[in-house]
């Protein structure tokens, strides 16, 4: 399936989910200053789009859908809030370069924690700033073909977060939240296992900026339960590594580097939030 068709399909899914969630529910809750603890669980699909470059030219690209799940906790009191979330994505995507077409197995695990403060808070509107820290672990297994050996690569990096969150009860039944983040990768690395028999190697990647935007439509049901749907978009950048010596059984066999890359992910998640107190 080509990129345009895949993204049009996902856009249609986003619109359908937004229409589904806009059902009669209770009003947006008023903040009385008491401590509040929420937990949530959701499932979603990601339109994964990854590409590598060298000297401005595209080297290879990976595209495909990845299913995923996430869970998190939200704690708030007065104007202060904190949140932690864990998400996992897994599946196969299409790999294409100038010489090879194959499949890549993707496994992505992401955790983050943040804390912030509402700058403006009323019964039906909130605007807050926050900062946080995250960690991303990405296993990328490029399968071998009859004419080329594959690679098993593991990317890992910490990242800093600064964000802005705005929330409003747009009707008595439905609330809307926009969440915008800037991200900065910290000390990104890649572990490479060569299926050709060359020795494994770890490369230091260049730090770069990224971003995420999420838009949540939710409605409160009875017994402290909330239904929500969240379309979102994120992008990552990783800089080129320095050249390193490639070895086989400890004997130099050339040089190797990891090219710079960009990742554009478009997704939608839907789930349930529970308020405990």
Reported as a pLDDT band with limits 50, 70 and 90, residue 71 is very high
Reported as a pLDDT band with limits 50, 70 and 90, residue 14 is very low
Q: Residue 165: is its pLDDT beyond 70? A: yes
Fold of 3-27+35-275: Lipocalin (2.40.128)
Q: Using alpha carbons only, how large is the chain's radius of gyration in Å?
A: 21
Q: Where are the domains of the chain?
A: 3-27+35-275
Q: Residue 25: is its pLDDT beyond 70? A: no
Average pLDDT over residues 248-254: 94
Stated as kind and residue range, the H or E segment containing 247 is strand 244-248
Instruction: Kindly report the average pLDDT of the chain as a whole number.
Output: 89
pLDDT of residue 237: 97
Q: Residue 276: is its pLDDT beyond 50? A: yes
Q: State the maximum Cα–Cα separation within the chain, in Å, rounded to a whole number.
A: 70
In order, the DSSP letters of 92-151 are EEEEEESS-EEEEEEEEEEEEEEEEEEEEE-SSEEEEEEEEEEEEEEEEEEPPBTTB--E
pLDDT of residue 123: 78
Q: Residue 47: is its pLDDT beyond 90? A: yes
Percentage with pLDDT > 70 across the chain: 88
pLDDT digits (tens, 9 = 90+) for 110-155: 999 999 999 988 878 999 999 999 999 999 999 999 999 999 999 9
């Amino acid at each position: 399936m080509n990129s345009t068709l895949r993204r049009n399909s996902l856009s249609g899914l986003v619109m359908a989910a937004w229409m589904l969630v806009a059902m009669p529910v209770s009003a947006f809750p008023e903040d009385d200053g008491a401590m509040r603890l929420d937990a949530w669980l959701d499932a979603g699909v990601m339109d994964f789009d990854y590409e590598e470059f060298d000297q401005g030219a595209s080297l290879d690209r990976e595209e495909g859908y990845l299913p995923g799940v996430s869970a998190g906790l939200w704690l708030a009191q007065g104007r202060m809030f904190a949140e932690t979330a864990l998400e996992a994505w897994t599946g196969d995507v299409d790999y294409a370069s100038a010489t090879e077409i194959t499949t890549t197995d993707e496994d992505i695990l992401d955790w983050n924690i943040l804390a912030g403060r509402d700058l403006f808070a009323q019964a039906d509107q909130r605007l807050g700033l926050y900062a946080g820290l995250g960690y991303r672990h990405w296993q990328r297994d490029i399968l071998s073909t009859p004419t080329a050996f594959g690679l098993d690569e593991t990317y890992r990096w910490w990242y800093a977060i600064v964000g802005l969150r705005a929330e409003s009860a747009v009707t008595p039944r439905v609330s809307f939240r926009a969440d915008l983040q800037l991200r900065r990768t910290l000390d990104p690395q890649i572990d490479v296992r060569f299926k050709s028999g060359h020795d494994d190697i770890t490369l230091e990647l260049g730090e770069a900026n990224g971003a995420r935007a999420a838009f949540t439509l939710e409605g409160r049901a009875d017994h402290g339960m909330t239904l929500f749907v969240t379309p979102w978009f994120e992008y990552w950048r990783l800089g080129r590594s320095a050249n390193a010596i490639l070895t086989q059984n400890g004997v130099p066999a050339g040089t190797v580097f990891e090219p710079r890359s960009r990742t554009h992910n478009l997704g939608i998640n839907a789930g349930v939030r529970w308020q405990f107190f």
